C-alpha cells in the first residue's frame, strides 16, 4: 500500500524567510504524481504544486518549488520569501497514474512570524 509521511507536525518561519517542508512516500509504482496542497484555517484545500514522477526537473510555481528525489522517495516543498498568507496546514499527497484517489500525509502546520 502506498503511504505518505510528513515528519514535521509544525514548522515556523519569519516573514520573508525561506522554509522547507519534508515529505517521504512509499510506492512500488513507477508512474505517479506528487502534490502539495494547502489548507488555510476554515477554508478549502487548494493545490500548491504538482510533480509528475517521470519528470526529472523539479516543479516551480512562483515562490514555491519542490526538491523531488525519486530514488530516495522524497518530495520536499520550499517556500521562499514567506508571507503571512502562507500560514496554513500543508499536505503532501500522492496518486498513481490513472487512479482517482489521493493518499495524503498527516500534514505540517506552518506558522509565519511577522
Residue 22: closest CA among 60, 79, 96:
79
Segments in the chain forming alpha helices (H) = none
Using rule CB under 8 A, residue 105 touches another protein: yes
- Taking CB under 8 A as the binding criterion, the range among 39-47, 56-64, 66-74, 76-84 that sits at the site for another protein is 39-47
- Based on the number of CB atoms within 10 Å of its own CB, is 43 exposed (0-12), middle (13-18) or buried (19 or more)? exposed
> Quick one: which of 46, 54, 81, 84 contacts another protein (CB under 8 A)?
46
Distance CA 31, CA 95 (A): 9
Using rule CB under 8 A, residue 100 touches another protein: yes
> Quick one: which of 47, 55, 61, 69 contacts another protein (CB under 8 A)?
47
Quote the least distance from Cβ 86 to another protein, whole Å.
18
Number of residues that bind another protein (CB under 8 A): 28
Length of the chain: 114
Quote the least distance from Cβ 2 to another protein, whole Å.
11
**81: three-class secondary structure by DSSP:** coil
- Taking CB under 8 A as the binding criterion, the range among 14-22, 46-54, 60-68, 73-81 that sits at the site for another protein is 46-54
Amino acid at each position: 500500500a502506498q503511504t505518505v509521511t510528513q515528519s514535521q507536525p509544525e514548522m515556523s518561519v519569519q516573514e520573508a524567510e525561506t522554509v522547507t517542508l519534508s515529505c517521504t512516500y512509499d510506492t512500488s509504482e513507477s508512474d505517479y504524481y506528487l502534490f502539495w496542497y494547502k489548507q488555510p484555517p476554515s477554508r478549502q484545500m487548494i493545490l500548491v504544486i504538482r510533480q509528475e514522477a517521470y519528470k526529472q526537473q523539479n516543479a516551480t510555481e512562483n515562490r514555491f518549488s519542490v526538491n523531488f528525489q525519486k530514488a530516495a522517495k522524497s518530495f520536499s516543498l520550499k517556500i521562499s520569501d514567506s508571507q503571512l498568507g502562507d500560514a496554513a496546514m500543508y499536505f503532501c499527497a500522492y496518486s498513481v497514474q490513472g487512479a482517482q484517489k489521493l493518499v495524503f500525509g498527516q500534514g505540517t502546520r506552518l506558522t509565519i512570524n511577522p
